[in-house]
Chains A and B, each alone.
Chain A
Amino acid sequence: MNKTRTGIIRDYDASRLSVKIALVIVYILCGLIVLVAMFPIYWVIMAGFMNLREFMSSTNIHPEAFELARYTQTWRQLGIMRNYLNSLYLILGSVFFALVSNGLLAYGLSILKPKGWGIIHKLVMVSLLIPTTLALVPLFMSLTRFGLVGFFTPLWMAAGANAFYVVVFRQFFLSLPSSLIDAGRIDGCTQMGIFMRIVMPLSKPICVVITIFTVNGAWSDFLLPFLVLRGTPWQTVMVRLFEFSTQQTINHDDLMRAVVFSMIPPIILFFFFQKKLTENIVSVGIKG
């Protein structure tokens, strides 16, 4: 392999002994980083193989036996399948709203620019700075007042009001060549037609990124979903997990298995889109 060093240590340093030792230390540190990052995940999977007695008393990391039946039993007993499907509904609707609503708003703010767009843009930028958790209390109150509590609708719509996605979309739209949009206009496209036929197809890469973030966000979020969905048959995996963890209505070994169940989809998603995620986090600059 013909790679060159891109770090602080350059190729011309690499022959010195002290530098070689430093590089060994670097690799040892990297090994430690991997260990620290992976070990908790490894442990919880192992803990899932323990039964209650073992989990409460064992001072070993590894279980006495690897019985997959323990996982399948918890899966059936708690009816996690239902929650998986609910999470899926939540995700599908959220992705739709996240793309269409934020996309259209960004389109308006970057290309259409109707009268007063500057004010809206400022407001969006300000909402980027103010944490959304602060809006939680009044939001819950108005949702209750409008009778929107109890189904996914408000959660789907909330995905359509993400200031961060708007900024990402807008930045991308601004980089599109305006000649293409002008061409569409000359050929008699309506504004909506330009958005659907020209802007969106060109924006596939950014749509993929937003989709991945939305999927992961919708899967992991539990505060607003808990307030909206508690006590209904529509509880998502995270809402269930949150109830388990706060109300202690579950055995500890089952809880660990539920944790594993909640981690599986994001990990699968991650391995499929690993490259996209790690590359785009840089250009997009956000963490989950």
Chain B
Amino acid sequence: MLPGIALFTFFLWVPLLQSVRMSFYRTVNIELVEFVGLQNYISIFGRQEFQQALRNTFVYTGWSLLIGFLVPIFLALVIGETLRGRGFFRTAAYLPNILPGLAAMILFSRFFSAEPTGVINIIMSWIDRGPFTFLTETNMVIPIIVLVSTWRGAGATALIYMAGLAGINPELYEAATIDGAGIFRRIRHITIPAIFNLGSTLLILQIIAVFQIMYEPMVLTAGGPDNASLSLMLYMWNLAFSGVMDMGRASAVAVITALILLCFTALYSFVNKRRTEWE
């Protein structure tokens, strides 16, 4: 047990606490210089980049609720209806998930390239559209990044939903059919309620994951154009590791992000409790 505890302490618990401590200090390189109280936080909140990153992170979350949450459910429903070839469809949908995220992002930076040689633009030119300037468009860049990370992650989430769907008691469907329920009413009254709990759990996990989005915009757009895709974690990385090494302010950003995440988690467990009580 001890080696495990030691490693957890050194690699997770102490750094997390230190993160909080460091956010109150002025730092030079890797040394804590002096205690400055809330100075880091105040200066962070005053920076335009931070405000933008904060706003963007919520925009990321919003889009991922729209795209990232619904796509896996759709995949699970559609693939679940097939009889032949289901294993193949499942495998194909899951395949993107095992690719290294970094490699996938580099790939997609060419895919969505604004040049006529970008793959999407090539396809668009077949139907005489475009060329589009996807990743340099301020209000398109976040949805595209969310779309790309959904491409990677949806297959895995869909597998979890498929397991949930397979667990539905077939007698429910039969009973509903006898009562005259068509296919859409079966979806509405049996399928959706059955995966509702699973869905809300996965939803909160997804919010937590999206809130940490960092390397996707880093590789695809470097946070641009004009910081339009800068996320909180990416801003933290930039502060800490790209040139300036401003560890104190970077920690302040980390702490703020953690606090927001904790709020989400608390909200989730509150809602969950309310619902079980109510039921």
A interface residue numbers (CB < 8 A to B): 1, 3, 5-10, 12-13, 19, 22-23, 26-27, 29-30, 33-34, 36-38, 40-41, 43-44, 47, 55-61, 97, 100-102, 104-109, 112, 114, 120, 123-124, 127, 129-142, 144-145, 157-158, 160-161, 163, 166, 216, 219-220, 222-223, 227, 238, 241-242, 245-246, 252, 255-256, 259, 262-263, 266-267, 269-270, 274, 277-278, 281-282, 285-288
Return A171 CB to nearest CB of chain B, in Å. 16
Return B21 CB to nearest CB of chain A, in Å. 8
Q: How far is the CA of A81 from the CA of B157 in the complex (A)?
A: 34
Residues of chain B with a CB closer than 8 A to A58's CB: 117
Q: Are A112 and B1 in contact (CB under 8 A)?
A: yes
Q: Are A266 and B100 in contact (CB under 8 A)?
A: yes
Q: List 23 A-B contacts (CB under 8 A).
A: A6-B166, A8-B187, A10-B173, A33-B93, A34-B88, A37-B151, A38-B92, A57-B117, A58-B117, A123-B13, A127-B12, A131-B208, A136-B15, A136-B240, A142-B18, A216-B98, A220-B101, A241-B106, A245-B106, A262-B103, A267-B99, A278-B90, A288-B97
Q: Which of B48-56, B76-84, B135-143, B270-278 contacts A (4 or more CB under 8 A)?
A: B76-84
Residues of chain B with a CB closer than 8 A to A129's CB: 208, 261-262, 265
Give the number of residues in B that approach A within 8 Å (Cβ atoms). 98
- A8 contacts which of B103, B173, B218 (Cβ < 8 Å)? B173
- B3 contacts which of A12, A41, A104 (Cβ < 8 Å)? A104
Contact flag A105-B83 (CB < 8 Å), given A130-B258, A242-B102: no
- B107 contacts which of A5, A44, A166, A285 (Cβ < 8 Å)? A44
Over the window 189-206 of chain B, the binary record of Cβ atoms lying under 8 Å from chain A Cβ atoms (1 yes, 0 no) is 011000000000000000
Q: Are A10 and B94 in contact (CB under 8 A)?
A: no
- B247 contacts which of A141, A160, A220 (Cβ < 8 Å)? A141
- A101 contacts which of B3, B79, B163 (Cβ < 8 Å)? B3
Q: A61-B119, A138-B18, A287-B97 are in contact. List 7 more A-B contacts (CB 8 A).
A: A30-B82, A43-B119, A105-B5, A132-B12, A137-B254, A223-B214, A281-B160
Return B122 CB to nearest CB of chain A, in Å. 5
Q: Are A288 and B212 in contact (CB under 8 A)?
A: no
Q: How far is the CA of A278 from the CA of B19 in the complex (A)?
A: 37
Q: Are B261 and A141 in contact (CB under 8 A)?
A: no
Q: How far is the CA of A13 from the CA of B81 in the complex (A)?
A: 12
Q: How far is the CA of A288 from the CA of B154 in the complex (A)?
A: 11
Complex A-B, nearest 6 residue pairs according to Cβ-Cβ distance, in ascending order: A105-B4, A108-B1, A287-B156, A135-B15, A138-B18, A220-B100
Q: Are A33 and B4 in contact (CB under 8 A)?
A: no
Q: Are B19 and A138 in contact (CB under 8 A)?
A: yes
Summarize A's interface: helix, strand, loop or mixed: helix
Q: How far is the CA of A163 from the CA of B8 in the complex (A)?
A: 8
Q: How far is the CA of A281 from the CA of B154 in the complex (A)?
A: 13
The residue on B at minimum CB distance from A26 is: B81
Residues of chain A with a CB closer than 8 A to B5's CB: 105, 120
Q: Are A288 and B250 in contact (CB under 8 A)?
A: no
Contact flag A263-B99 (CB < 8 Å), given A100-B3, A285-B160: yes
The verdict on B63 contacting chain A, using a C-beta distance below 8 Å, is no
Residues of chain B with a CB closer than 8 A to A245's CB: 102, 105-106, 109, 219
Summarize B's interface: helix, strand, loop or mixed: helix
- A59 contacts which of B125, B155, B233 (Cβ < 8 Å)? B125
B interface residue numbers (CB < 8 A to A): 1, 3-5, 7-8, 10-16, 18-19, 22, 30, 75, 77-85, 88-111, 116-117, 119, 122, 125, 151, 153, 155-157, 159-160, 162-163, 165-166, 170, 173-174, 177, 183, 186-187, 190-191, 208, 211-212, 214-215, 218-219, 222, 233, 236-237, 240-241, 247, 250-251, 254, 257-258, 261-262, 265
**Which of B1, B13, B94: most chain A Cβ within 10 A?**
B1
The residue on A at minimum CB distance from B174 is: A10
Q: Are B83 and A37 in contact (CB under 8 A)?
A: no
Q: Are B11 and A158 in contact (CB under 8 A)?
A: yes
Q: How far is the CA of A17 from the CA of B11 in the complex (A)?
A: 60
**Which of B94, B95, B103, B151: most chain A Cβ within 10 A?**
B103
- B91 contacts which of A40, A109, A216, A274 (Cβ < 8 Å)? A274
The residue on B at minimum CB distance from A55 is: B117
Q: Are B18 and A267 in contact (CB under 8 A)?
A: no
Residues of chain A with a CB closer than 8 A to B85's CB: 30
Contact flag A166-B155 (CB < 8 Å), given A129-B208, A137-B236: no
